[in-house]
Amino acid sequence: MRIELVNTGDELLLGDTINTNAAWLGQQVAALGLMVSRHLVVSDGAVIKDAISEAASRSDVVLVSGGLGPTNDDLTRESMAELLGLPLELDEGIKAHLEDFFARRNRVMSASNLKQAMVPRGALVLDNPFGTAPGLYFPAELGCARGWNTHFFLLPGPPRELKPMMEAHVEPRLRSLLPDGASRAIRYFKITGLGESDIVERVEKKLEAVPGLTLGYCIRQGDVDVRLSGQPEPVAAGEAIVREHLGEHIVSTDRRLIEQVVVHALAERGQWLATAESCTGGFLTSRITDVSGSSGVFGHGFITYANEAKQKHLGVPAALLAEHGAVSEPVCRAMAEGALAASGADHALALTGVAGPTGGSDDKPVGTVFVGLASRGAETAVRKFFYPGTRDRFKLLASQAALDMLRRRLSGLPMG
């Protein structure tokens, strides 16, 4: 099944609004075992009609977002009506919904809002419980006069309206359009601790040898997504290969980020985490507290940038700092163990390093970082990493390494 997205709006092309709808819709379609074949962003105006017509000429399904509002530049509804030669008719149900929507908010409905109650004849109305713009579904038979066998779905642009409507109205219809035996499977594996070339070396030839299996990668700083798609049987065979050869590096199979996985694992165990950060300046703590529910597992974060702060808040001995320097394995160990003692947590992560671009030396070049993990009832672990580049990249990768050390300990895996 060929599916195309058409997103409308000058604000998307000008960069005033980030087009998060395209990414989200692609993920929802992929979760059905399908794939968006093309994505187009167009400005408000007459070009909408051309974009929809072009997409319809080669697709089974066209999803259009935006342009269903009450203003003069909201032209998606009118464009579809013109394309299919359908008259616009007042829908009394939508009109009543609009009147009620404004009345419940003690607002006066403007005459322009009635534009949203105009429906091309034959189109099915898709309820919008969170806004004034209903969606519309045009079954394939409405396009037969144009030589199309295409299903059209028009959805409002605001994500808080589009998302529930996609789930409630569009996804069930897409499932019904799949022929028997055409169901596809898709699996995602978020991998950390390995680069793309390492992953390719370990699994690519084995996966390519599975008939009917499609392999894809999405590379980010800190992790790599491995995507398998196809019929259920080859996908299951590919999954077995990935688990066998990449097992301990698999962070999640449901697209969760490593910080989400770690917070969930701590919550399941009823355990608490503390952090002690020098070179990352709170970046690790920020990633943890960005996760919903982190307040139930995270209580203390120490930002000890200066040596005096390491001594005062973490109890790092001055002699240790003088002998080894702040960026060293012994100091990192003392930071982790000091944070564990000061916080009363079950685990404590510590980071100390040289973020750069200045401050490096021959034995401790810019990009050097030590990551420590102290846990009650377990031996403190300290590892050394090297992440040269920008400060942002350094902080992200250093915090990723710290989270992965904790993930491994919670999962009973070797530190690597």
Q: Where are the domains of the chain?
A: 3-177, 185-252, 258-411
Q: Which of 211, 214, 202, 186 is nearest to 243 (CA)?
A: 202
CATH number of the domain at 258-411, please? Answer: 3.90.950.20
Residue 349: pLDDT band with limits 50, 70, 90: very high
Higher pLDDT, 97 or 347: 347
- Assess contact for 412 and 376: CB atoms under 8 A: no
Please name the fold of domain 185-252.
Alpha-Beta Plaits (3.30.70)
Q: What is the dihedral of CA 338, 343, 349, 352, to 10 degrees?
A: -50
What pLDDT, on the 0 to 100 scale, is given for residue 180?
A: 66
Q: Which of 315, 320, 364, 366 is nearest to 336 (CA)?
A: 315
Determine the average pLDDT of the residues in 320-341: 98
Phi (first) and psi of residue 288, to 5 degrees:
-70, -45
Contacts within 8 Å (CB) and 24+ apart, 13-18:
13/41, 13/42, 13/43
What pLDDT, on the 0 to 100 scale, is given for residue 182?
A: 61
pLDDT in tens, 216-233: 898 888 999 999 988 899
The pLDDT of residue 181 is above 60: no
The pLDDT of residue 183 is above 70: no
- Assess contact for 21 and 56: CB atoms under 8 A: no
Higher pLDDT, 343 or 112: 343
- Token pair in block for residue 61: 């399904």
Looking at every residue in the chain, the average pLDDT score rounds to 95
Residue 202: pLDDT band with limits 50, 70, 90: very high
Please tell me if the domain spanning 185-252 has the same topology as the one spanning 258-411.
no
Distances from the Cα of 197 to the Cα of 18, 193, 207, 266, 401, angstroms: 31, 12, 15, 32, 19
Residue 81: pLDDT band with limits 50, 70, 90: very high
Residue 186: pLDDT band with limits 50, 70, 90: confident
The pLDDT of residue 33 is above 70: yes
CATH number of the domain at 3-177, please? Answer: 3.40.980.10
